[in-house]
Amino acid sequence: MQPDIILQNNPMFSGMATITEELVFTCEGISHSIVFIRPGLEVLEDAPVRYPLVVFLQGSGWTSPHRNYQLPQLCAYAQQGLAVASITHRNAQEGHPFPAYLKDAKAAIRFLRSQAEALQIDPDKIAFFGTSSGGNTALLVGLTGDDPRYITADYKEYSDAVAAVVDCFGPTDLLAYEGAEIPRVLRLNIPLDYEKMVPASMLEDNAFLSAVVALMGKQKPMDVLRAMSPLYEVKEGKTCPPILIAQGDEDRVVPFSQSERMHKRLKEAGVDSTFVKVQGAAHERDFWSQEMHALILRFIKEKLGV
C-alpha cells in the first residue's frame, strides 16, 4: 500500500533548535548562567556554519533577569537561523550598583565571542535585544562599544561591540524621567546615603525609586543618572549600530516620551534608528504579538546582513 504522504529528510536540521543551560560567564568574580539556543539539533562538524547571534536581556528593574521569560519566542528566532543567548546580571538590590549590570552584559558578549568556534556563532554578527531595564542596557551596550569605562578583566581580549540593537520600552533619560526635573538635592552631586534618607515604606511602594536608590549606591547621584541614560551617549560623529526602538503608547511604567526623545536624538545624530509605536499597548503584556517578534526578527536579520 502506498503512503498517503511522503516527506524529504532534513539533514541540515533546518527549522530546528537546541537549548543548553551549561554556559557560564564570569564578571568581576561573580558567575552567571546563560540559556543558549542554537539552530539545529546537533553540531554539524563538517559544515562551515556560523550563526548570527542575538544576546537577549529580559527586563527586571535591574534586579535578577528571568532568562526563560521569552524563551518560547526566542526559540522561534533560533528556528529561523539565529543563535540566541539569554543572559542575566548582578542584582542592584543586593549591593551591586551601576555599572555592574552593564559590565555584566558586556562581559557576556565578550565571553560568547571567546566561544565563537565551539558555539558556531559569527563574532562579527552579534545583536543585543533587551526589554525595559534590559532595553536600557541594550542601548548602553550599543552606544558604548569597547568603552574602557566598562571593560573588566574578564575576556578583555575580545570586543563587546555589537552590530545591531533592539530596545523595547527601556528608560533612556533618568535625569528627566516622566518629564520631571530632578530634585535640587541631586543637583548637588555629592555622595548620599539614600537608604537612610528615603523611608523604607517609600521604597517598598515605589519599585522604580527603590531600583534607582540601589543603583546609585554611594556614588554621586547626577553622575550615575547621566551615565545610566543612553540619551546622553548619543553624540555627533560617534559610530553607532542600527537601533530599533519599540514601545506601547499606553505604557504606565516607562513614559512613552522616553522612546520618542531617544529616537529623535538618534536621528539628529545621523544614527540608523527605527521607532515603532504599539497602539494601546502597556508595559510588557499586550505589547507582545507574533507581528512584533516577526518585525524584530526582520530588523535583526537585515542589519546583520543575514
Cis before 11 (ω within 30): no
Residues 198 and 240 in one domain: no
Is 90 exceeded by the pLDDT of residue 220? no
Q: Which ranges of 96-247 would DSSP assign to H, the alpha helix?
A: 100-114, 116-119, 133-143, 184-187, 194-197, 200-205, 207-216, 221-227
Residues 162 and 265 in one domain: yes
Domain containing 196: what range? 182-228
Lowest-confidence range among 26-35, 57-66, 157-166, 196-205?
196-205
Q: Do residues 63 and 211 touch, judged by C-beta distance below 8 A?
A: yes
Task: Specify if 35 maps to a domain.
Answer: yes
Residues 146 and 244 in one domain: yes
CA 23, 211, 146 angle in degrees (round to 5)? 50
- H-run or E-run covering 136: helix 133-143
Task: Specify if 4 maps to a domain.
Answer: no
pLDDT category at 5 given cuts 50, 70, 90 is very high
Residues 210 and 299 in one domain: no
DSSP string across 166-192: EEES----GGGGGGPPPPHHHHT----
Residues 212 and 278 in one domain: no
Q: Which of 295, 238, 297, 224 is nearest to 272 (CA)?
A: 238
Residue 40: the pLDDT is 81
Q: Which amino acid is at 18?
A: T
Q: Specify the number of domains making up the chain.
A: 2
3-state SS class at 157: coil
pLDDT tens string 26-78: 999 999 999 999 998 777 666 667 899 999 999 999 998 998 899 999 999 99
Q: Which three cell numbers stand for residue 231?
A: 540619551
Which residue reads 562581559 in cell numbers?
Answer: 107
Task: Specify if 147 maps to a domain.
Answer: yes
Residues 143 and 206 in one domain: no
Residues 212 and 244 in one domain: no
Residues 256 and 160 in one domain: yes
Is 60 exceeded by the pLDDT of residue 24? yes
Which stretch, 173-187, 202-216, 268-282, has highest mean pLDDT? Answer: 268-282
Round to whole Å and give the CA distance between 136 and 46. 40
pLDDT tens string 73-92: 999 999 999 999 999 999 99
Residue 259: the pLDDT is 97
Task: Specify if 108 maps to a domain.
Answer: yes
Task: Specify if 2 maps to a domain.
Answer: no
Residues 275 and 220 in one domain: no
Is 80 exceeded by the pLDDT of residue 206? no
Residue 195: the pLDDT is 58
71: CATH: 3.40.50.1820
Average pLDDT, the chain: 89
Q: Which amino acid is at 203?
A: L
